[in-house]
């Protein structure tokens, strides 16, 4: 890969660790991740996206694989801080995969699972790394508590009770906002160009999409993010 495509981390990038919700889930944020985020947008603009959804749900838009060099650059710099912030001690990556993602589905085209908070996995060793390549007009990411169960995260021991409680709860129309009536929002991170957040994949969350103007397949104008799912194991 050429030097121009090294996806270098910004020298002044600083991670901030906070906790969200009553279950005090750790959340890592960085205000400016890459030294040159525009080069990553250029890669996305030159890529061929395909739909990532079907009649039953899935990601409500388009996706294409991320460059391996970008995944490696980000994972290398984050493994240590994730291990520290999440109380894991020394860890190493066992799996990392990622995609550029563009939200494109109109609110009235969403399947029921796309209209409610979700988890990406119930594995507590899997982490979501979300890198915004869009600005605040694209909304952000919100985190939720399920009112009937009080759950803010899901694991194998909670799945049966959660599914039973959710079964009679209809999904409201459109993209998730404050989560009413079945969920309540516990925290929100607004999109900002080159901002990154890291959280466990097993906590209830949803992208927020306040502006229909962001529902475009143009990576330079739409709700573009780079998403990495990272699984860690003890070093």
- pLDDT over 80 (residue 2): no
* pLDDT mean over 40-63: 96
pLDDT of residue 4: 52
Q: How confident is the model at residue 47 (pLDDT cuts 50, 70, 90)?
A: very high
pLDDT over 50 at 91, yes or no? yes
Mean pLDDT, residues 139-149: 97
Cβ(227)–Cβ(101) below 8 Å? yes
pLDDT band at 60 (very low <50, low <70, confident <90, very high): very high
Per DSSP, helices labelled H in the chain are: 37-45, 68-85, 156-166
CA-to-CA dists, residue 216 to 16, 52, 147, 205, 224, angstroms: 31, 15, 33, 22, 10
Handedness of CA 20, 25, 174, 134 (dihedral sign): positive
What integer is the mean pLDDT of 25-49? 97
174-177 long-range contacts (CB < 8 A, ≥24 apart) are 174/107, 174/108, 174/110, 174/115, 175/60, 175/107, 175/110, 175/114, 175/115, 175/206, 175/207, 175/208, 175/209, 176/115, 176/116, 176/117, 176/142, 176/144, 176/206, 176/207, 176/208, 177/208
Can you list the positions of beta strands (E) in the chain? 15-20, 25-30, 50-54, 57-65, 91-103, 126-132, 140-146, 183-190, 196-200, 205-208, 224-234
């Amino acid at each position: 890969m050429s030097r121009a495509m090294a996806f270098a981390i910004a020298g002044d990038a600083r991670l901030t660790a906070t906790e969200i919700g009553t279950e005090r889930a750790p959340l890592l944020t960085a205000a400016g991740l890459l030294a040159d985020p525009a080069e990553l947008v250029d890669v996305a603009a030159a890529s061929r996206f395909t739909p990532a959804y079907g009649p039953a749900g899935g990601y409500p838009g388009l996706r294409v694989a991320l460059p391996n060099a970008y995944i490696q650059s980000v994972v290398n710099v984050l493994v240590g801080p994730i291990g520290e912030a999440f109380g894991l001690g020394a860890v190493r990556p066992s799996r990392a995969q990622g995609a550029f993602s563009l939200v494109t589905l109109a609110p009235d085209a969403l399947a029921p699972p796309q209209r409610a908070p979700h988890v990406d996995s119930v594995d507590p060793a899997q982490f979501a790394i979300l890198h915004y390549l869009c600005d605040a007009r694209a909304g952000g990411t919100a985190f939720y508590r399920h009112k009937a169960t009080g759950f803010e995260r899901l694991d194998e021991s909670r799945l049966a009770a959660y599914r039973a409680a959710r079964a009679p709860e209809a999904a409201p129309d459109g993209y998730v906002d404050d989560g009413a009536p079945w969920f309540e929002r516990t925290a929100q991170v607004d999109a900002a160009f080159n901002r990154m957040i890291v959280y466990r994949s097993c906590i209830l969350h949803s992208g927020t999409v306040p502006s229909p103007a962001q529902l475009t397949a143009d990576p330079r104008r739409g709700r573009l993010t780079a998403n990495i799912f990272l699984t860690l194991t003890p070093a």
